[in-house]
Amino acid sequence: MKKISGNPYFNKKEGEVLVDKVLLNEILKTNSTPLIIFLENRVRNNINTFLRVFRSVFDNFQCFYSFKANFLPEICNIVQSEGLGAELIGLPELKLALKLHFPPDKIIVGGPYLPQELIEKCVQEKIKEIVVYNINDLIKINSVAKRSNIIQEICLRINAQKYGSKLGILLNRLNVIQLKKIINECKNLKVTTLLSHYSTQMNNFELFVKNVNILLDSTKVLFDAGIKIDNINLGGGFPEAVIMPENQLRELATKINSLINNFEIKFKNIYFDPGRYLVGDAGLLIAKIIKVTEDRWIFLNIGNHICPKFAKSSIRFYNATKIEQPHKFKTSIAGIIPTDQDVLAKDYFFTNDLKEEDLVVLTNVGAYNLTFSNRFPYLLPNIILVKDQTVTNIFNPSVNRDFSIN
Ligand SMILES: Cc1ncc(COP(=O)(O)O)c(C=O)c1O
């Protein structure tokens, strides 16, 4: 047995492709392409690796799964069963998390848009922290908390000061005065945490270091202004687990920990909210070749409407029909959106022999692909969950119509 794409739950064996413990050909007897497959054991395995590494490096670490990476109830349910918290941006996600029994004290909610209904639900359900991206939202949250006679804990998302970044509160010595004034007036709020999420798919340790330094500098700016922060949240940004193996993750965690330990101010808790790392390589997309051109372009029966560029996934392509053949012949891959822009890969190393009906597997599509997918008027793919030998259908477009949450 040999791993495909570095994924221990996706293997080749005697010319056949194995999805966990089921043959892909067996799955395709009852499912047609395009088909999305999620690997439950890989999600659990990634969660366990992440927790093992960060718990061994930090004494005071907590992990919140970022639902936006993949909000399918079945995936979030797996995450819940492993004891993680949830990082959410809106009301549909909050309703889902509560329905799945994420404890409110393990839920943090916030984003660039906090509608009144969302704030009220957060206060009413006593969720752990509301994450504030805009200073004026503090006033809105305070008035809801005051009406309910509670003190709401707040996490401030600060601007990561990456070139062109507009998200979060820009903290400097000038506007900290305005922030302090608002915090002093908002008697029903307690600012406990600072969050900075630098970017997604960060393959370079230096980006994580920048993120930590921005948080530490901002903590100091607030401290000097008389605002004491208990916790820091470093966000997510880790690549797929197949891209960052456990030893690298540990090295990164150790580096982050030493930066924090050497800082003059001590924190009660260190939070992370990974999305992609936990679910990215647990998603496979099975497609087929529908056209081959003389200059080695292949067209698949999927496109950027299902695996959009916005998802920034490290997609790998395999010819599953010819899995034992060398994948070292430059091939370009197009999708079925009727525009020349629907290119999935150019000059990608693929099999020499290309035939219509060949099965193509795309790996690492578990995070953000469904999130950013759009409504191009093709039928949505079936979605199944595989665990050991068990295959469960979790989405059938002819029955369920849509996988969005409300
Ligand atoms: C605040 C915050 N935390 C976590 C994440 C998850 O990021 P990733 O999936 O790259 O780990 C995001 C993504 O945008 C975010 O904005």
Q: Identify each DSSP E strand in 2-144 by its residue range.
A: 2-4, 7-13, 16-19, 22-23, 35-39, 61-66, 85-88, 107-111, 129-132
Rg for the chain (alpha carbons), in Å? 23
Task: Compute the C-alpha angle 344/349/352, nearest 5°.
Answer: 110
**Residue 251 CA, ligand 1 centroid: distance in Å:** 21
pLDDT digits (tens, 9 = 90+) for 184-243: 999 999 999 999 999 999 999 999 999 999 999 999 999 999 999 999 999 999 999 999
Q: Distances in Å between the alpha carbon of 382 and those of 30, 36, 278, 288?
A: 11, 6, 22, 14
Q: Which domains does the chain have, with CATH numbers?
A: 2-39+280-400 (2.40.37.10), 42-279 (3.20.20.10)
Span from the CA of 330 to the centroid of ligand 1 (angstroms): 34
The CA 332 to ligand 1 mean position distance, Å, reads 31
46 CB within 6 A, ligand 1:
no
Nearest-angstrom CA–CA distance, 130 and 63 = 16
Closest CA to 173 of 132, 225, 226, 232: 225
**CB of 66 closer than 6 angstroms to any ligand 1 atom:** yes
pLDDT digits (tens, 9 = 90+) for 341-381: 999 999 999 999 999 999 999 999 999 999 999 889 999 99
CA atoms within 13 A of residue 324's CA, in its CB half-sphere? 5
Tokens of 278: 């936990």
Contact 303 CB / ligand 1 (< 6 Å): no
Report the atom number in ligand 1 closest to the C-alpha of 131.
1
Per-residue pLDDT at 97 exceeds 90: yes
**Residue at 38: amino acid letter:** F
Q: Is 69 a pocket residue for ligand 1 (Cβ < 6 Å)?
A: yes
Map tokens 């004491």 to a residue.
Answer: 228
- Least Cα distance to 199 among 222, 168, 176 occurs for 168
Distance 258 CA to ligand 1 centre (A): 23
Which stretch of DSSP H or E encloses residue 209? helix 205-224
pLDDT at 194: 98
- On the CB side of 55, CA atoms within 13 Å amount to 8
pLDDT score of 73: 97
Query: Whose C-alpha lies nearest to ligand 1, atom 2?
Result: 235
